[in-house]
């Protein structure tokens, strides 16, 4: 009988991916843990997130803030390791933070504080980190798994955790490698798409929008049955900003999006009041008191509105303001995975345990973080899913030791 498996360098757990989920899992798995990543530094997505401040969680995190083929799947991990648990960890490491809008929490100093915290937690747990290391030729054995590390030779483990993310931001090394592993071991995938990504438009639309590049405005953006009320930013490629990124996760080809400018403001009433007291003011200048001037001029030109307010009757003003509250646009696409913050879809949750994140077919094979078909809204939700799913897998692995 051959004992070649025993001669390999052996770990209890190998984690592919030193991102948010992978490092979190390593801090909780226990035993001899190896984390590998082909990048030069760990937690690169953490480092660049939130403008370098890392929007590390959201006070309002709940299952309703996530998209998935199974909307109930994320409930278990999110409830057992919540935003409050991660905030407690951040506080324990004396990392100063602050709340921005809509419950979003950011580091006061730098996103590097979160990376350093996770590395410290890994170090305390005795986990080993190997960077600029790739994995290949992954095989299932009676004792677990074997895989080749480049460089580093062949290694063995009982538990294998896939935490290498999705396809978003390929310039940082994203490749969809985790999906290949899922297919290899018989797991199904749901359709993957860029999410939290700017919209692009045809030249006919962009001819009017390009001069607005750099203009931002408060807006409610509706798409696919969902509406998000935040800022919209006009760019030289199309539309971006928080409300647009949120809506992009619900958009499908050929669907329109609807912009309602200045939600909460009764523009018709404001213009009628202005007309009553200063009818000689132009409609463009009156609108520019509520919207950026370039945008106001574009909207008036587009609607054929010119001249003083006194020349505009109630019906004409009502029709005009209605177009501003129901501005329908048809994106031709998005900027794709190149700029998408996350990947929508991934490993089908029907093949995973919501409690342990392990494969139902191979109980020692785990999938966590972005590689799974669980995608959060903009605002710290995707990081919370990384913390929660990584913790769930780590604790499940520790319980088997």
Q: Which of these three, 288, 305, 334, is where a domain ends?
A: 334
54 and 127 fall within a common domain: yes
Last residue of one domain, picked from the residues 334, 358, 383: 334
Domain end position, chosen among 334, 359, 390: 334
Cα 298 off chain centre by:
32
CB contact burial 79-93 (16+ within 10 A = b; e otherwise): eebbbeebbebbeee
- Cα-Cα-Cα-Cα dihedral of 279, 283, 285, 287, to 10°? 110
Distance CA 297, CA 91 (A): 49
Q: How many CB atoms lie within 10 A of CB 20?
A: 31
Q: Both 225 and 258 in a single domain?
A: yes
Instruction: Name the pairing type of β-strands 33-36 and 145-150.
Output: unpaired
Tens-digit pLDDT string for the chain (401 aa): 345 445 689 999 999 999 999 999 999 999 999 999 999 999 999 999 999 999 999 999 999 999 999 999 999 999 999 999 999 999 999 999 999 999 999 999 999 999 999 999 999 999 999 999 999 999 999 999 999 998 879 999 999 999 999 999 888 888 899 999 999 999 999 999 999 999 999 999 999 999 999 999 999 999 999 999 999 999 999 999 999 999 999 999 999 999 999 999 999 999 999 999 999 999 999 999 999 999 999 999 999 999 999 999 999 999 999 999 999 999 999 999 999 999 999 999 999 999 999 999 999 999 999 999 999 999 999 999 999 999 999 999 999 97
Domain holding 120: CATH number? Answer: 3.50.50.60
Domain of residue 307, residue span: 199-334
Distance CA 256, CA 223 (A): 7
Query: Does one domain contain both 217 and 325?
Result: yes
Q: What is the 3-state secondary structure (H, E, C) of 369-381?
A: HHHECCEECCCCH
Axis-axis angle for helices 314-325, 293-303 (nearest 10): 120
Query: What is the rounded distance in angstroms from the CA atom of residue 219 to the CA atom of residue 14?
Result: 46
Domain count, the chain: 2
Residues 77 and 110 in one domain: yes
Q: What is the 3-state secondary structure (H, E, C) of 71-132?
A: CCCCHHHHHHCCHHHHHHHHHHCCCCEEECHHHEEEECCCCHHHHHHHHHHHHHHCCEEECC
Claim to verify: residue 264 and residue 372 sit in the same structural domain = no
- Do 228 and 306 belong to one domain? yes
Asked if residue 73 and residue 127 are part of one domain, the reply reads: yes
Q: Do residues 246 and 364 share a domain?
A: no
Same domain? For 15 and 124 the reply is: yes
Considering the domain architecture, whether residues 93 and 129 belong to the same structural domain is answered as yes
pTM: 0.95
């Amino acid at each position: 009988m051959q004992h070649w498996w025993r001669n390999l360098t052996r770990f209890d757990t190998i984690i592919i991916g030193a991102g948010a989920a992978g490092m979190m899992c390593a801090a909780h798995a226990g035993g001899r843990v190896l984390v590998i990543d082909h990048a030069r530094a760990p937690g690169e997505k953490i480092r660049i997130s939130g403008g370098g401040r890392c929007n590390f969680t959201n006070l309002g995190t709940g299952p309703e803030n996530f998209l998935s083929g199974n909307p109930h799947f994320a409930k278990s991990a999110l409830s057992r390791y919540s935003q409050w648990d991660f905030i407690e960890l951040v506080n324990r490491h004396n990392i100063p933070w602050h709340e921005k809008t809509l419950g979003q929490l950011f580091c006061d100093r730098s996103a590097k504080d979160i990376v350093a915290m996770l590395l410290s937690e890994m170090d305390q747990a005795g986990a080993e980190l190997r960077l600029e290391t790739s994995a290949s030729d992954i095989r299932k054995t009676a004792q677990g798994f074997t895989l080749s590390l480049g460089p580093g030779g062949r290694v063995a483990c009982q538990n294998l955790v896939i935490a290498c993310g999705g396809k978003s931001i390929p310039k940082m090394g994203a490749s969809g490698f985790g999906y290949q592993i899922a297919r290899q071991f018989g797991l199904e995938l749901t359709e993957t798409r860029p999410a939290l990504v700017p919209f692009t438009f045809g030249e006919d639309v962009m001819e009017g929008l390009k001069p607005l590049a750099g203009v931002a405005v408060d807006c409610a953006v509706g798409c696919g049955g969902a509406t998000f009320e935040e800022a919209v930013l006009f760019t030289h490629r199309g539309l971006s900003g928080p409300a647009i990124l949120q809506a992009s996760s619900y958009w499908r080809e050929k669907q329109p999006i609807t912009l309602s400018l200045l939600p909460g403001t009764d523009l018709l009433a404001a213009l009628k009041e202005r007309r009553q007291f200063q009818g000689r003011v132009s409609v463009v200048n009156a609108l520019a008191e509520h919207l950026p001037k370039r945008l106001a001029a574009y909207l008036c030109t587009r609607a054929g509105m010119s001249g003083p307010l006194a020349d505009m009757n109630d019906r004409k003003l009502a029709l005009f303001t209605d177009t501003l509250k129901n501005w329908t646009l048809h994106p031709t696409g998005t900027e794709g995975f190149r700029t998408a913050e996350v990947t929508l879809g991934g490993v089908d949750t029907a093949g995973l345990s919501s409690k342990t994140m392990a494969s139902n077919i191979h109980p020692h094979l785990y999938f966590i973080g972005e590689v799974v078909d669980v995608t959060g809204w903009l605002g710290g939700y995707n990081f919370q899913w990384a913390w929660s799913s990584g913790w769930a897998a780590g604790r499940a692995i520790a319980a088997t030791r």
